[in-house]
């Protein structure tokens, strides 16, 4: 088993290039729980897990956490709570059976017409409920050599029309290296769409650089970005600006969220999140039932409760603002709508 890799392994700026603002933020991320508690004035308020999944919180996300509030919904997503160490029956290291969908290390194919590249194991934040928190990222280093194997396999399978760049977070890779990868993907004639799964425009809004916009929109592939916001408090003015730049450049923006106990398990939280997304030009796409990954049982909301929240949400919001409530069931050909 492995944990998420250090972002530095993905960033690797060339020594002759200035370090971008978003790269500096990654370097300045808080990794020490004691420091986080001290900054948030929460000493002795939160018990700590002894587990191996490290804390990682970039400054711009930290700035959105309310000081002195141990129940803050953004803090809960990143705090290594002691409950992570409690064994929970049915919660496993690979809840969605990624290992069985691997065509080769770093390339997964679960659904018709689509393949998913694990571009890197690095992230801009460590979400405690992440279903890939135990993924063997050491088998898929963020290197052109590893990507080339995946490119070759994609080129040989003409049924693949859409490539999903995932991880970790693919936007922890520099623009220069992303452009290399995307240009090679665009050279594969049967690919039509480029989808990027990322939390970076939310975690570090300065990540939406001019070079990034160019490499996402500069090929014949249709660019789609699936961001990941779980609470309206994540969507401040800087994030709004970052999403606006992406949208104006021609990137289709969708959001996926996870239903999380203590974060967004209420009608009010869901209504506020999805209306804010609509106002920022992002279509609410999925609300995921939690994948039952080891260490995340304290985040689980029973499906019946999720259905009740969704029923109330449908009564309150226009249809376009209501995401589909879904669950990934290993071995199925599509996600189950709950
Ligand atoms: S949910 Fe996404 S951003 Fe969060 S730790 Fe997992 S891969 Fe990284």
Q: Between the CA atoms of 127, 55, 239 and 327, what dihedral angle is there, to the nearest 10 degrees?
A: 0
Give me the pLDDT at residue 15, please: 56
Domain-embedded: residue 137: yes
Which CATH number does the domain housing residue 236 bear? 3.20.20.70
Domain-embedded: residue 215: yes
Domain-embedded: residue 23: no
Q: Are 215 and 255 in contact (CB under 8 A)?
A: no
Give me the pLDDT at residue 2, please: 47
Q: What is the pLDDT of residues 120-178, one digit of tens each?
A: 999 999 999 998 887 777 777 778 888 999 999 999 999 999 999 998 899 999 999 99
Domain-embedded: residue 38: no
Q: In the predicted model, is pLDDT for residue 4 greater than 70?
A: no
Sign of the torsion formed by the C-alpha atoms of 335, 195, 116 and 274: negative
Angle at 251 between CA 246 and CA 252, to 5 degrees: 120
Ligand 1 contact via 239 beta carbon (within 6 Å): no
Q: Are strands 222-227 and 193-197 parallel, antiparallel or unpaired?
A: parallel
Residue 201 — very low, low, confident or very high, per pLDDT cuts 50/70/90?
very high
The DSSP-derived string for 42-107 is -TTSS-B--SSS---B-HHHHTTSPTT-TT-HHHHHH--BGGGGS--TT-BS-TT-HHHHEEETTE
Strands, E assignment, 107-248: 107-108, 114-118, 162-166, 193-197, 222-227
pTM for this model (two decimals): 0.94
Q: In the predicted model, is pLDDT for residue 113 greater than 50?
A: yes
Average pLDDT over all residues of the chain: 91
CA distances to 135, 233, 338 from 63, rounded to whole Å, are 29, 11, 35
Q: In the predicted model, is pLDDT for residue 98 greater than 80?
A: no
Ligand 1 contact via 125 beta carbon (within 6 Å): yes
Q: What is the mean pLDDT of residues 8-24?
A: 71
Domain-embedded: residue 30: no
Which domain range does residue 102 map to? 98-337
Output the CA 315–ligand 1 centroid distance in Å.
Answer: 31
Ligand 1 contact via 231 beta carbon (within 6 Å): no
Of 112-121, 141-150, 186-195, 202-211, least confident by mean pLDDT is 141-150
Output the CA 192–ligand 1 centroid distance in Å.
Answer: 26
Q: In the predicted model, is pLDDT for residue 9 greater than 60?
A: no
Q: Are 271 and 232 in contact (CB under 8 A)?
A: no
Domain-embedded: residue 124: yes
Give me the pLDDT at residue 148, please: 93
Domain-embedded: residue 237: yes
Q: Are 283 and 253 in contact (CB under 8 A)?
A: yes
Q: What is the mean pLDDT of residues 301-308?
A: 98
Of 93-107, 199-213, 225-239, 297-311, least confident by mean pLDDT is 93-107
Question: Which token pair is 169?
Answer: 């977070």
Sign of the torsion formed by the C-alpha atoms of 285, 96, 224 and 10: positive
Residue 44 — very low, low, confident or very high, per pLDDT cuts 50/70/90?
low
Output the CA 197–ligand 1 centroid distance in Å.
Answer: 10
What span, in angstroms and rounded, lies between the C-alpha atoms of 197 and 286? 13
Give me the pLDDT at residue 319, please: 97
Kindly report the protein residue whose alpha carbon is nearest to atom 7 of ligand 1. 168
Report how many domains make up the chain: 1
Domain-embedded: residue 190: yes
Q: What is the mean pLDDT of residues 272-292?
A: 98
Peptide bond into 224 cis (omega under 30): no
Q: What is the pLDDT of residues 222-274, one digit of tens each?
A: 999 999 999 999 999 999 999 999 999 999 999 999 999 999 999 999 999 99
CA distances to 26, 185, 212, 235 from 16, rounded to whole Å, are 19, 27, 19, 34
């Amino acid at each position: 088993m492995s944990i998420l890799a250090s972002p530095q392994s993905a960033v690797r700026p060339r020594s002759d290039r200035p370090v971008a603002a978003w790269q500096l933020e990654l370097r300045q991320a808080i990794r020490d729980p004691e420091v986080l508690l001290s900054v948030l004035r929460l000493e002795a308020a939160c018990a700590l897990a002894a587990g191996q999944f490290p804390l990682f919180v970039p400054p711009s996300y930290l700035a959105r956490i309310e000081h002195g509030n141990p129940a803050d919904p953004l803090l809960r997503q990143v705090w290594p709570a002691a409950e992570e160490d409690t064994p929970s029956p049915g919660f496993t290291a690979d809840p969605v059976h990624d290992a069985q969908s691997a065509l080769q290390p770093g390339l997964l194919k679960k659904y018709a017409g689509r393949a998913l590249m694990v571009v890197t194991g690095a992230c801009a934040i460590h979400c405690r409920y992440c279903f890939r928190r135990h993924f063997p990222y050491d088998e898929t280093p963020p290197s052109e050599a590893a990507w080339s194997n995946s490119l070759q396999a994609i080129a040989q399978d003409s049924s693949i029309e859409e490539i999903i760049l995932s991880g970790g977070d693919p936007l922890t890779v520099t623009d220069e290296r992303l452009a290399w990868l995307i240009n090679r993907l665009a050279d594969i004639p049967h690919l039509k769409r480029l989808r990027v799964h990322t939390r970076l425009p939310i975690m570090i809004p300065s990540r939406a650089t001019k070079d990034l916009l160019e490499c996402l929109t500069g090929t014949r592939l249709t660019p789609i970005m699936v961001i990941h916001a779980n609470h309206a408090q994540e969507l401040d003015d800087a994030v709004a600006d970052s999403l606006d730049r992406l949208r104006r450049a021609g990137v289709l923006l969708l959001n996926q969220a996870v239903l999380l106990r203590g974060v967004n398990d209420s009608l009010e939280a869901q209504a506020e999140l999805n209306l804010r997304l609509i106002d920022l030009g992002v279509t609410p796409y999925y609300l995921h039932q939690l994948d039952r990954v080891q260490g995340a049982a304290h985040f689980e909301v029973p499906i019946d409760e999720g259905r009740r929240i969704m029923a109330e949400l449908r009564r309150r919001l226009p249809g376009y603002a209501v995401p589909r409530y879904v669950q990934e069931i290993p071995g199925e050909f599509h996600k189950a709508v709950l």
